[in-house]
Every structure is written in structure tokens, then in C-alpha cells.
């Protein structure tokens, strides 16, 4: 369970926010990878999980991502200002394996798009030539849909429904949570206009994805014109806190997961903000301050290191990354 919003209507920066809601720690690392890195879309911990014709590529762009279970990036952006976010969608159905297309396991889906595309349009086009394959990690299936945005403010949502790819491409697709499918979420949103919010408007307050979607629409519409980048980032983070799932909402009773962390991607200034919900500290990374020579090794920081606070760009160090 997660939420993503995009703020592409202010004059200072294109900003996106996401929350990661999950029943356990995803063992996140914030990983910076240079261009020129070889990857295998069928390899999962040394095992080929896609069968014949796995997708192989060499990354065109440097990336800054938060990893999930060591499989690959689940959230982040690349040097060109393209961001991608993988969110849970229970009804995901990638369909049967089509070996005529190179196979890409779901854990590397976000990473592949960030490695190879500079814009949303390029990322959407890439999807015509690959076959995404379901993968499991720690007992959880990668039933994902992906949100994309770039520094121009373009946006897309990609889902797989009944074995077929469904794409919503356009600047207007700024919100995303989980189930139901995006078509259904847009239909639910159309029943109440949140574009002109006021203090008397009834606001869904539950923690399920439908209520979070509507709440994200309401608070996004309230965002004031920022005077500077700091205000803009704080505004997006405030919305993400409003749509987070607080501790104490057990899955067994509510059918949702608590929020592990929140991020904000500033795609104009290439800064990545990260807030672990069990830490009082917000940290950030200035992409341009990283040393990412093409063909080099990835570097990382561990957000669970409680000494991390503020700008951690200089805290990156060599890390054993398997993707």
C-alpha cells in the first residue's frame, strides 16, 4: 500500500511525493548507481526467474533510488529528471510469459525504466518491447503498478489488468494509490470534485487506498504558491504525511499496512528527500554532489543509520548491491 502525488503546476520546481506502506521493513537503501552498469532482467539472487530470453541492458543514465529487499529500485529518479515509483496493486495480472519479448522481472521494472529512459514518453515507449514477469520476495508477490513523471511535468501510470498493459499518459494524472485499478479510482474521484476545496467539504478520513486517493486530491488542491524551493518541498511532504498510515493500524483489522517511509523528489533541482517514519530526522541527497563516474560502482547510505540527518550527500560509500 502506498500513495504518490505529483505537483507540476507551480513555477519553481516539479515535485513528486510517495509513501511506502508495507507490513515489515523493506530493508531500504538509498543507492546511487552510475551509467554503464550491466543488468539482467531475469536474475533474482542468482536464479533465472523469467525463463528463456531474459532482458539484458547496460544503463544509459545514472540513478538515485530507494531499493526494496535488495531487488532493485522501487522509488527514485535519474540524471535526466525522470522519476518512477512502484506501488502495490493487488489485482495486477502480467499475463502468461511471452518469450518472444525479453523478460523483465517485476522487481527490476522501476530500475529498468530509470536506467534507460530520459522522459516519460521514452519510458512508456520502452514498455512495448519487454514482457514484465511476476516475482516473489519474502513471501510477497511484486503485484506492482508504476507511476512516472519527468522534470517537464509529464506523467504516466502503467498497470497490467487481465494480462494487458494499460497506460494513462498525461500531465493530469497526478495522483495514485493502490486498489482498485486506476480507471476505477478516476471514476470514484469524478463523483466528488476536490479541485475547489473548502472547509465545509466532507473529506474521507480512513486509511484505505480509495480514501487516501481522495484525501490526496483535496490536499493537493490546497497547495499554496511557494515562495521558494524549501516551501515547495515542505508542502509536498505535508500532503504525504496526511495520506500516510499511522502506526497502530494492523493489517488484520484494517487491511492496510503502516507507512515505513516517505520521499519527495525534486526533479528540477535533482534533490531527493527521505523521511523514515520511525526517525525524527529528514535526510536529503543532492544528486549533483555525488561522484558517479560512468562504469563505476554503486554507492549507498542506510536510512536506518540513526546518525543520518539533513544533507547526507557526502555520507555515501561503497556498498554490496546485487542489482
Span 170-183, pLDDT tens digits: 999 999 999 889 99
C-beta neighbour count of 10 within 10 angstroms? 18
Best CA proximity match to 290, nearest among 117, 33, 75: 33
Instruction: Say whether pLDDT at 143 is over 70.
Output: yes
Place 251 in a pLDDT band, splitting at 50, 70 and 90: low
Nearest to 105 by CA among 72, 149, 138, 152: 72
pLDDT value for 3 = 95
Nearest residue to 26 via CA among 84, 85, 71: 71
Put the strands of the sheet holding 310-311 in their side by side order: 175-176, 2-7, 15-21, 259-266, 271-276, 282-286, 310-311
| Structure confidence at residue 92 (pLDDT) | 95
The three-point CA angle 265-271-273 to 5° equals: 60
Residue 254 predicted with pLDDT over 70: no
Residue 296 has pLDDT above 80, yes or no: yes
**Do residues 77 and 267 make contact, with C-beta atoms less than 8 angstroms apart?**
yes
pLDDT of 55 strictly over 60: yes
CATH for 2-318 is 3.60.60.10
Phi, then psi, of 63 in degrees rounded to 5 = -130, 155
What pLDDT, on a 0 to 100 scale, did the predictor assign at position 87?
95
Burial class, 114, CB count within 10 angstroms (exposed 0-12 / middle 13-18 / buried 19+): buried
Phi (first) and psi of residue 318, to 5 degrees: -55, 140
Output the CA angle 205-74-216, nearest 5 degrees. 20
For residues 186-210, give the mean pLDDT.
85
pTM for the predicted model, two decimal places = 0.95
- Give mean pLDDT, residues 263-272: 98
> Stretch 243-248: mean pLDDT, rounded?
83
Q: Mean pLDDT, to the nearest integer, of 85-100?
A: 95
Q: Is residue 7 within 8 Å of 14, Cβ to Cβ?
A: yes
Residue that has been written with the C-alpha cell 545514472 in this structure = 62
Q: How far apart are CA 293 and CA 63, in angstroms?
A: 12
Looking at residues 132-137, what average pLDDT do you find?
92
Q: What is the structure's pLDDT at 255?
A: 64
Q: Which residue has the higher pLDDT, 245 or 102?
A: 102
Distance CA 2, CA 57 (A): 29
Does residue 283 carry a pLDDT above 90? Answer: yes
Residue 265 annotated as catalytic: no
- Quick one: average pLDDT of 236-263? 83
Write down the pLDDT at residue 250.
Answer: 62
Q: What is the mean pLDDT of residues 107-133?
A: 97
In whole angstroms, give the CA distance from residue 204 to residue 120: 31
- Give the pLDDT confidence score for residue 253 in this predicted structure: 58
CA 193/CA 196 separation, integer angstroms: 7
Query: Average pLDDT, stretch 183-188?
Result: 88
Q: Which three cell numbers stand for residue 90?
A: 493487488
Mean pLDDT across the chain: 93
Q: What percent of the chain has pLDDT over 90?
A: 79
Residue 38 grid cell: 550491466
In the chain, domain spans = 2-318
First to last CA, the chain: 23
Cβ atoms 312, 285 nearer than 8 A? yes
Q: Of the ranges 81-85, 94-98, 252-256, which one carries the lowest mean pLDDT score?
A: 252-256
Nearest to 52 by CA among 97, 114, 107: 97
pLDDT at residue 33 tops 80: yes
What does the alpha-carbon distance between residue 194 and residue 191 come to, in Å, rounded to a whole number? 10
Residue 71 has pLDDT above 90, yes or no: no
Amino acid at each position: 500500500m502506498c500513495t504518490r502525488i505529483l505537483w507540476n503546476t507551480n513555477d519553481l520546481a516539479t515535485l513528486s511525493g510517495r509513501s511506502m506502506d508495507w507490513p515489515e521493513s523493506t530493508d531500504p537503501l538509498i543507492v546511487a548507481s552510475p551509467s554503464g552498469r550491466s543488468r539482467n532482467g531475469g536474475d533474482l539472487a542468482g536464479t533465472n526467474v523469467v525463463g528463456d530470453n531474459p532482458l539484458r541492458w547496460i544503463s544509459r543514465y545514472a540513478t538515485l533510488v530507494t531499493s526494496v529487499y535488495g531487488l532493485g529500485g522501487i522509488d527514485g529518479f535519474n540524471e535526466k529528471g525522470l522519476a518512477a515509483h512502484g506501488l502495490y496493486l493487488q489485482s495486477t495480472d502480467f499475463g502468461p510469459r511471452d518469450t518472444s519479448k525479453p523478460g523483465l522481472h517485476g522487481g527490476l521494472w522501476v530500475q529498468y525504466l530509470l536506467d534507460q529512459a530520459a522522459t516519460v514518453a521514452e519510458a512508456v515507449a520502452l514498455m512495448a518491447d519487454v514482457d514484465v514477469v511476476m516475482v516473489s520476495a519474502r513471501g510477497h508477490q511484486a503485484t506492482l503498478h508504476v507511476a512516472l513523471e519527468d522534470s517537464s511535468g509529464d506523467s504516466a501510470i502503467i498497470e497490467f489488468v487481465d494480462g494487458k498493459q494499460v497506460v494513462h499518459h498525461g500531465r493530469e494524472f497526478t495522483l495514485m494509490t493502490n486498489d482498485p485499478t486506476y480507471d476505477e479510482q478516476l471514476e470514484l474521484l469524478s463523483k466528488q470534485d476536490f479541485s475547489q476545496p473548502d472547509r465545509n467539504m466532507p473529506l474521507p478520513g480512513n486509511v484505505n487506498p480509495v480514501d487516501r486517493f481522495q484525501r490526496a486530491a483535496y490536499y493537493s488542491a490546497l497547495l499554496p504558491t511557494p515562495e521558494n524551493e524549501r516551501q515547495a518541498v515542505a508542502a509536498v511532504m505535508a500532503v504525504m504525511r496526511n495520506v500516510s498510515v499511522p502506526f497502530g493500524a494492523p493489517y488484520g483489522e484494517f487491511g492496510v499496512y503502516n507507512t515505513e517511509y516517505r520521499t519527495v523528489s525534486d526533479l528540477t533541482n535533482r534533490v531527493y528527500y527521505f523521511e523514515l517514519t520511525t526517525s525524527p530526522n529528514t535526510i536529503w541527497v543532492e544528486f549533483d554532489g555525488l561522484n558517479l563516474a560512468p562504469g563505476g560502482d554503486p554507492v549507498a547510505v542506510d536510512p536506518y543509520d540513526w546518525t543520518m540527518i539533513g544533507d547526507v550527500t557526502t555520507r555515501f560509500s561503497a556498498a554490496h548491491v546485487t542489482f
